[in-house]
């Protein structure tokens, strides 16, 4: 009977000894790390992020409490890198920090400094007649012309507004291919518009502010053309509340152009435009009697 008892107890005892040895070995391989994070004045820094890293990919992370303290438990023994960060402070880092048993690492963080650089040049703005120094110059071409109105009167008004006020009794001038006093061409035949370009040029008889230079399209080496129309009628207008019937109104605008070669050294560009407006204005008047009452 005693022999059977010993045979049963002996394996259980060996198993318990093995488990105790494993737990003891594991406890000897793990350690802990704690500390406090403070600022230059010695006050605690809560909310700081503490990161422990160990090659190749082991990372432990925690955050300091309200008293600035932190603790890592069950940290494998060995060499670690310790990083502390918090907004408003310069990052703090320790390389090859050894964790053996209960380790302590207090950190004092420095306030981060914001660096700004201001460059002051001693260049002075000088009065010059150089066209490149004219900040009021404006050149319109290509897609820039699409923003302008197709209506000739509105187009002229837009260009005068871009040019601004001009010296002299006649205000600004519009030059078409170098000539003044001509009729404003349709927008579809305009290649480029220059506003206040080189106002001090000697080729003009007066100061060039408010001057508008329009350059039309030349003929092309291939036949091409385009046609555009805009029609407005009183059917599309709302009735005036002071009248029972809408007054007659009709506006028509036709624009077409064609260009192409004549010979190997010459070409042509023909443009046709027609505009008609039929409008009746509404007059709200009060008739007076002989006593003007």
Does any domain span residue 250?
yes
Q: What is the CATH number of the domain that holds 70?
A: 2.60.40.1120
pLDDT tens figures, 236-259: 777 777 777 777 778 887 888 888
pLDDT score for 150: 80
DSSP 247: P
Sorted by sequence, the CB contacts under 8 Å of residue 190 that are 6+ apart come out as 145, 214, 215, 216, 217
Contact between 64 and 46 under an 8 Å Cβ cutoff? The reply is: yes
B/e letters for 86-123, b = 16+ CB within 10 Å, e = fewer, are: beebeebeeeebebeeebebebebeeeeeeeeeeeeee
Task: Round to whole Å and give the CA distance between 93 and 95.
Answer: 7
* Whole-structure pTM value: 0.42
Write down which residue in 188, 216, 244 finishes a domain: 216
* Lowest-confidence segment of 145-149, 157-161, 199-203, 243-247 by average pLDDT: 199-203
The parent domain of residue 197 ranges over 131-216
DSSP 150: S
Does any domain span residue 94?
yes
Write down which residue in 216, 242, 262 finishes a domain: 216
Across 32-59, average pLDDT: 90
Contact between 82 and 48 under an 8 Å Cβ cutoff? The reply is: no
pLDDT score for 39: 93
Residue 65, pLDDT > 90, answer yes
Across 72-83, average pLDDT: 89
């Amino acid at each position: 009977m005693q022999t059977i008892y010993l045979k049963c107890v002996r394996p259980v005892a060996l198993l318990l000894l093995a488990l105790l040895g494993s737990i003891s070995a594991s406890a000897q391989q793990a350690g802990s790390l704690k500390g406090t994070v403070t600022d230059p004045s010695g006050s605690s820094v809560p909310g700081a992020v503490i990161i422990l890293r160990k090659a190749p990919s082991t990372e432990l992370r925690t955050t300091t409490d309200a008293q600035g303290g932190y603790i890592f438990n069950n940290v494998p023994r060995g060499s670690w890198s310790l990083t502390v960060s918090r907004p408003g402070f310069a990052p703090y880092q320790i390389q090859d920090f050894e964790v053996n048993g209960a380790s302590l690492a207090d950190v004092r963080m420095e306030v981060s400094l914001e660096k700004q650089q201001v460059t002051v040049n001693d260049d002075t703005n000088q009065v010059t007649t150089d066209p490149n120094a004219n900040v009021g110059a404006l050149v319109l071409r290509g897609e820039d012309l699409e923003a302008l109105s197709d209506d000739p009167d509105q187009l002229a008004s837009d260009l005068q507004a871009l040019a601004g006020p001009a010296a002299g009794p006649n205000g600004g001038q519009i030059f078409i291919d170098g000539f003044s006093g001509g009729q404003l061409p349709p927008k579809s035949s305009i290649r480029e518009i220059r506003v206040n370009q080189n106002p001090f040029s000697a080729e003009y008889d007066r100061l060039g502010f408010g001057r508008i230079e329009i350059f039309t399209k030349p003929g092309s080496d291939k036949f091409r053309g385009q046609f555009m129309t805009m029609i407005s009628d009183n059917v599309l207008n709302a009735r005036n509340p002071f009248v029972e019937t809408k007054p007659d109104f009709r506006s028509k605008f036709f624009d077409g152009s064609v260009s192409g070669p004549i010979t190997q050294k010459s070409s042509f560009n023909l443009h046709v435009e027609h505009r008609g407006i039929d409008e009746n204005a509404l007059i709200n008047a009060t008739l007076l009697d002989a006593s003007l009452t």
